[in-house]
């Protein structure tokens, strides 16, 4: 049926297999569809009625045909093959994979029972894959994990002209990132809610291509039945959208603060990790900002304790504030800067974490991470 380089095939199979369901509702959905077209291209695809993925390759040789085999098993096999060309042949109800002296025989699945992949929606615009991957990674850390609240498991995408705003929240923190893109229509205005895990997986995979990512969107109604697609360098993926309902997050972002601390990200992260060693999972890290230093503390008199002081560039009223250490570390990890700016109002009001890069007067940073403090017991 076809011959292709082992590394090329293994990478394509692994990428396509990411979209396959772990527990398919019907066995055929665990399959990966391999097709050699009349034009000689090799297409690998997977679809579970929610998310689709397809990779297009140029094989060394190929004869038109189509087959469906277990995607998970094929991914494990191709990953383990030696670095030699791979021959894939269909023999009746079986598929034979040969690479060097290794030979595998796979059972095929009824390809006629496999659902057709959805067509890509109309192209809406393009953005650099590295920018796209970075932006999605910065907001995805704040998506919720509770499937009973689906609107908090997604990333809200707001498009206004050449500006795209991504936002995600799990009620305890909120991440917002703005980026520029090249829209097909300069006056485009759209809103979509994308499943967070699906978007993060797609951005990470497409970010490795080094090419531009084309974003395609169907018209989004109020029913949540819209679809969004991403494609780059021969790879494409689509996903159904969530209901567009989302908290009115802009009003949550404070604009005035009583204190500001510029923190060296590397040494501050290490200090937080050290102090957090004595903190239980839901126990906060307490921080006291005074003059030119911050004192980090965790634990209490009845249990293990840790204290560490760090010099910081601090301006404003002295403040004691406490945060969930994991949320704090995830916010610091998402900042694309050696210096993080923490802006605070009081010990009970939301704080904003941004990169320490200067912004124009009246402007806002392109990335903001709001984190709710934990109330300190008096």
Domain harbouring 354, CATH code: 3.10.150.10
Choose one of 81, 109, 137: the last residue of a domain: 109
Query: Of 53-62, 301-310, 367-376, which gets the smallest average pLDDT?
Result: 301-310
Query: Of 21-25, 182-186, 238-242, 299-303, which gets the smallest average pLDDT?
Result: 299-303
Residue 349 has pLDDT above 80, yes or no: yes
Question: What is the pLDDT at residue 179?
Answer: 95
Q: Are residues 155 and 224 in the same domain?
A: yes
Residue 114 lies in a domain: no
Q: Write down the pTM of the prediction.
A: 0.88
Q: Are residues 167 and 224 in the same domain?
A: yes
Residue 377 lies in a domain: no
Nearest to 129 by CA among 242, 265, 231, 263: 231
Neighbours of 375 (CB within 10 A): 10
* 3 class by beta-carbon count within 10 Å (0-12 exposed, 13-18 middle, 19+ buried): middle
Q: Are residues 190 and 170 in the same domain?
A: yes
pLDDT in tens, 75-89: 999 999 999 999 999
Q: Are residues 258 and 244 in the same domain?
A: no
Residue 148 lies in a domain: yes
Residue 376 lies in a domain: no
Average pLDDT of span 221-235: 76
Q: Are residues 191 and 78 in the same domain?
A: no
Residue 154 sits in which domain range? 123-250
Q: Are residues 298 and 333 in the same domain?
A: yes
Question: What is the pLDDT at residue 96?
Answer: 96
Domain count, the chain: 3
Q: Are residues 266 and 243 in the same domain?
A: no
Q: Are residues 75 and 144 in the same domain?
A: no
Residue 253: partners with Cβ closer than 8 Å, 6 or more residues away: 174, 176, 350, 352, 368, 370
């Amino acid at each position: 049926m076809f011959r292709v380089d082992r590394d090329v095939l293994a990478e394509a199979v692994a990428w396509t297999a990411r979209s396959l369901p772990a527990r398919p509702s019907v066995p055929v959905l665990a399959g990966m569809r391999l097709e050699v077209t009349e034009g000689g291209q090799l297409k690998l695809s997977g679809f579970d009625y929610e998310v689709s993925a397809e990779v297009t390759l140029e094989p060394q040789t190929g004869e038109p045909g189509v087959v469906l085999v277990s995607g998970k098993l094929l991914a494990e096999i191709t990953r383990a093959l030696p670095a030699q060309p791979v021959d894939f042949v269909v023999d009746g109800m079986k598929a034979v994979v040969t690479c060097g002296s290794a030979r595998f025989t796979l059972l095929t699945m009824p390809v006629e029972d496999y659902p057709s992949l959805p067509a890509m929606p109309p192209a809406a615009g393009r953005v650099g894959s590295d920018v796209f991957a970075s932006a999605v990674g910065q907001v995805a850390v704040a998506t919720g994990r509770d499937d009973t609240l689906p609107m908090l498991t997604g990333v809200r995408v707001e498009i206004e002209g050449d500006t795209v705003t991504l936002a995600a929240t799990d009620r305890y923190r909120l991440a917002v990132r703005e980026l520029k893109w090249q829209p097909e229509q300069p006056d485009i205005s759209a809103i979509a809610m994308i499943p967070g895990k699906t978007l993060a997986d797609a951005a990470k995979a497409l970010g490795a291509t080094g090419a531009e990512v084309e974003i395609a969107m169907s018209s989004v109604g109020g029913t949540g039945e819209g679809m969004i697609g991403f494609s780059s360098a021969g790879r494409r993926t689509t996903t159904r959208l969530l209901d567009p309902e989302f908290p009115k997050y802009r009003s949550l972002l404070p604009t005035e603060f009583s204190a500001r601390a510029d923190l060296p990200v590397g040494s501050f992260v290490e200090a937080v990790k050290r102090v957090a060693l004595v903190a239980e999972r839901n126990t906060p890290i307490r921080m006291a900002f005074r003059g030119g230093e911050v004192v980090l503390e965790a634990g209490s008199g009845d249990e293990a304790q840790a204290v560490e002081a760090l010099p910081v560039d601090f301006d404003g009223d002295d403040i004691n504030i406490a945060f969930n250490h994991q949320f704090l570390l995830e916010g610091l990890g998402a900042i694309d800067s050696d210096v993080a700016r923490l802006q605070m109002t009081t010990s009970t009001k939301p704080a904003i974490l941004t990169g320490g890069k200067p912004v124009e007067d009246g402007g806002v940073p392109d990335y903001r991470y709001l984190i709710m403090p934990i109330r300190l017991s008096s």
